[in-house]
Amino acid sequence: MKIIIDQDRCVASGQCVMAADDVFDQRDEDGIVVLLNADPSPGRLADVRQAALVCPALAITVEE
């Protein structure tokens, strides 16, 4: 799995962090998404996919 984030599209909603807080975080200064773990365990795949689905800006892409 490859996780791609587009910080330019991010609107700082925090939905990704709520879905997978060990994979995504937000910058303190503006709330923009930060990728914490580019290679999460297979057990986290569903949460990472959910984070991509709930992102209102479509700033997260998951490639299998």
**Average confidence (pLDDT) per 10 residues, the chain, 64 residues:** 96 97 97 96 96 98 92
* Alpha carbons 24 and 50: distance in angstroms, whole number: 12
- Confidence at residue 31, expressed as pLDDT on a 0 to 100 scale: 97
- Confidence at residue 8, expressed as pLDDT on a 0 to 100 scale: 98
The dihedrals phi and psi of 19, each to the nearest 5 degrees, come to -80, -35
- Confidence at residue 42, expressed as pLDDT on a 0 to 100 scale: 93
Q: Which of 61, 57, 54 is nearest to 16 (CA)?
A: 54
pTM: 0.93
- Confidence at residue 64, expressed as pLDDT on a 0 to 100 scale: 83
Q: Dihedral of CA 15/17/33/38: which sign?
A: negative
* Alpha carbons 36 and 63: distance in angstroms, whole number: 17
